[in-house]
């Protein structure tokens, strides 16, 4: 998978040099390039914004630097020889976007080339989004109903959520199976040594060695936790995926 990120604060994305994503880049599992939008300006002040038509507070990001930067990212292309089979996906972090979920991460982890456009100020001139549809699948994307100062923090989260699903990035793929949202539920509580900590014991069943009882206990905890914290997820569950014991929780 090829990932391109365009930002006026490229150093914000240096966290992607670290840990599992950084290792995946070293191993060639992910090709990731971060580009400074100001490289695509033509004036000596490297101007990327201007006042909004129609008035209002703040500044809007100018279209021309973005068009040049996105064209450069697009033609950098995915890994491997030959023309890409798929159009690249342009992800634009925005509170006005579709909500990014684990299902979105799974979907985007299958794509060849993702380009992330980190807006700042009051946003990017809307004509960039319209123009981009000629060459990209354009996906305005929100992490949630709150406002950040720019797209960089959202891109860090999305690249990690997507990148970790790329085969080979997580050493043990088993650890992807029982995590929150993998089966529509929140994950069960986890414990490790010592068995007794500040007068708090580990649940007895987890010390029993009885795999069936442990699996049932964990599933019960998932259902109870999801019902308590995210009733919306319970409402969205497919009843066919629930067994009789699930319904008794």
* Beta carbon nearer to ligand JAB, 91 or 185: 91
* Beta carbon nearer to ligand JAB, 65 or 123: 123
* Beta carbon nearer to ligand JAB, 24 or 91: 91
Q: Give CA–CA dist 94/168, Å, rounded.
A: 30
- Beta carbon of residue 184, minimum distance to ligand JAB (angstroms, whole number): 23
- Beta carbon of residue 146, minimum distance to ligand JAB (angstroms, whole number): 6
- Beta carbon of residue 159, minimum distance to ligand JAB (angstroms, whole number): 13
* Beta carbon nearer to ligand JAB, 129 or 223: 129
- Beta carbon of residue 209, minimum distance to ligand JAB (angstroms, whole number): 45
- Beta carbon of residue 147, minimum distance to ligand JAB (angstroms, whole number): 5
- Beta carbon of residue 152, minimum distance to ligand JAB (angstroms, whole number): 9
Nearest to 50 by CA among 63, 37, 34: 63
* Beta carbon nearer to ligand JAB, 99 or 195: 99
* Beta carbon nearer to ligand JAB, 144 or 189: 144
Contact present, 65 and 41 (Cβ < 8 Å): yes
Q: Return the structure tokens found at 214.
A: 């442990």
One DSSP character per residue, 38-105 reads GGG--STT---EEPPTT--SS-EE-HHHHHHHHHHHHHH--SSSSS-SSPPEEEEEEEEEEEP-HHHH
> What is the contact surface with ligand JAB in residues (CB under 6 A)?
93-95, 142-144, 146-148, 151, 154
Contact present, 89 and 140 (Cβ < 8 Å): no
Q: Return the structure tokens found at 244.
A: 């009789």
Q: Return the structure tokens found at 44.
A: 């000596």
- Beta carbon of residue 100, minimum distance to ligand JAB (angstroms, whole number): 7
Q: Give CA–CA dist 71/58, Å, rounded.
A: 27
Residue 3 buriedness (CB in 10 A; 0-12 / 13-18 / 19+): buried
> Angle of helix 152-163 relative to helix 19-27, nearest 10 degrees?
60
């Amino acid at each position: 998978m090829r990932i391109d990120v365009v930002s006026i604060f490229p150093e914000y994305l240096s966290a992607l040099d670290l840990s599992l994503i950084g290792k995946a880049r070293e191993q060639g599992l992910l090709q990731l390039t971060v580009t400074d939008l100001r490289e695509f300006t033509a004036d000596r002040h490297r101007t990327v914004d201007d006042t909004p038509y129609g008035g209002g507070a703040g500044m809007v990001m100018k279209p021309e630097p973005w068009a040049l930067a996105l064209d450069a990212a697009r033609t950098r292309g995915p890994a491997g020889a030959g023309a890409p089979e798929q159009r690249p996906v342009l992800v634009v972090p925005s509170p006005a976007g579709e909500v990014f979920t684990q299902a979105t991460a799974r979907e985007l982890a299958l794509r060849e080339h993702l380009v992330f456009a980190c807006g700042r100020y009051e946003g990017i001139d809307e004509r960039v989004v319209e123009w981009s549809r000629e060459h990209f699948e354009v996906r305005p994307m929100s992490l949630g109903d709150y406002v950040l100062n720019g797209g960089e923090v959202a891109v860090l989260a999305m690249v990690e959520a997507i990148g970790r699903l790329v085969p080979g990035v997580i050493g043990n793929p088993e650890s992807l199976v029982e995590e929150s949202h993998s089966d529509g539920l929140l994950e069960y509580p986890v414990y490790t040594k010592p068995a007794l900590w500040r007068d708090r014991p580990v649940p007895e069943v987890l010390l029993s060695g009885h795999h069936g009882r442990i699996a049932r206990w964990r599933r019960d905890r998932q259902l109870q936790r999801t019902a308590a914290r995210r009733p919306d997820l319970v409402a969205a569950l497919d009843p066919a995926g629930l067994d009789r014991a699930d319904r008794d929780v």
